[in-house]
Chain A
Amino acid sequence: SQTIHQWPATLVQPVGSPLSLECTVEGTSNPNLYWYRQAAGRGLQLLFYSVGIGQISSEVPQNLSASRPQDRQFILSSKKLLLSDSGFYLCAGNRGAHEQYFGPGTRLTVT
């Protein structure tokens, strides 16, 4: 079975600082990978998804970017954080099935 790892678990960053959140997958190869942001009372918003190395699709225009440098690595980045980037970020993956499996998440607070 596949396991999704995320780090860090929590992060406090000042406005204008850069961001890098990492997601790695264990137990499968060539997964589809997804970044979501979760805000209180608003469910999950799909930010990016990737079907392979270097292949990134953006779902919403925003201050964030994503990269997939390796098959089982998915990175969420920003050059300059905004207050509105605060939230709970979840990485998910699937491989050969329609359901997605989620990592433990990263709580980002921009101050």
Chain B
Amino acid sequence: AQSVTQPDIHITVSEGASLELRCNYSYGATPYLFWYVQSPGQGLQLLLKYFSGDTLVQGIKGFEAEFKRSQSSFNLRKPSVHWSDAAEYFCAVGGRDDKIIFGKGTRLHILP
């Protein structure tokens, strides 16, 4: 069965520090992978997506993610976080049926 695991419920980093949010997935075929961000009380915004090709994908707001098939992972990274990056981040996996399975999210806190 398809599933997505985000092992960290909360992460706290200092402003200007680097960030890595972990995501592991289970999927029987080549997956479509996504990272979304959600500010409190808002909808989800797509940060980046991986369908095929280069395993390092660039997204909006300075984020990137790397697809590692051998580890079934799709971790999100940013070299230097800003206070405005505080939000909840969702990793998701999809396939050809146009349904997406979401992880439970990681809430990012930024220390000034």
Q: Say if A and B assemble together.
A: yes
Q: In the complex, which residues 55-87 of chain B have their Cβ closer than 8 Å to any Cβ of chain A?
A: none
Taking CB atoms, residues of chain B closer than 8 Å to A99 are 32, 34, 46, 49, 94, 100
Q: Does A4 contact B (CB under 8 A)?
A: yes
CB-CB under 8 A for A98 and B32, given A42-B104, A43-B90: yes
Q: Does B9 contact A (CB under 8 A)?
A: yes
Q: Judging by beta carbons under 8 Å apart, are A43 and B46 in contact?
A: no
Chain A positions within 8 Å of B, measured between CB atoms, are 4, 6, 32, 41-44, 46, 49, 90, 92, 94, 98-105, 107
Q: Judging by beta carbons under 8 Å apart, are B43 and A104 in contact?
A: yes
Taking CB atoms, residues of chain A closer than 8 Å to B90 are 43-44
Taking CB atoms, residues of chain A closer than 8 Å to B27 are none
A42 to B104, CA, bound (A): 5
How many Å from the CB of A26 to the closest CB on chain B? 14
16 A-B residue contacts at CB 8 Å?
Answer: A6-B43, A32-B98, A41-B9, A41-B104, A43-B90, A43-B104, A44-B44, A49-B98, A90-B43, A92-B44, A98-B94, A99-B46, A99-B100, A102-B44, A103-B43, A107-B41
Q: In the complex, which residues 13-59 of chain B have their Cβ closer than 8 Å to any Cβ of chain A?
A: 32, 34, 36, 41-46, 49, 51
Considering residues A42, A43, A101, A102, which has the most beta carbons from chain B within 10 angstroms of its beta carbon?
A: A43
Q: Judging by beta carbons under 8 Å apart, are B98 and A94 in contact?
A: yes
Q: Judging by beta carbons under 8 Å apart, are A90 and B98 in contact?
A: no
A43 to B41, CA, bound (A): 14
Q: Judging by beta carbons under 8 Å apart, are B104 and A101 in contact?
A: no
How many Å from the CB of B74 to the closest CB on chain A? 14
CB-CB under 8 A for A4 and B104, given A32-B98, A49-B99, A94-B98: no
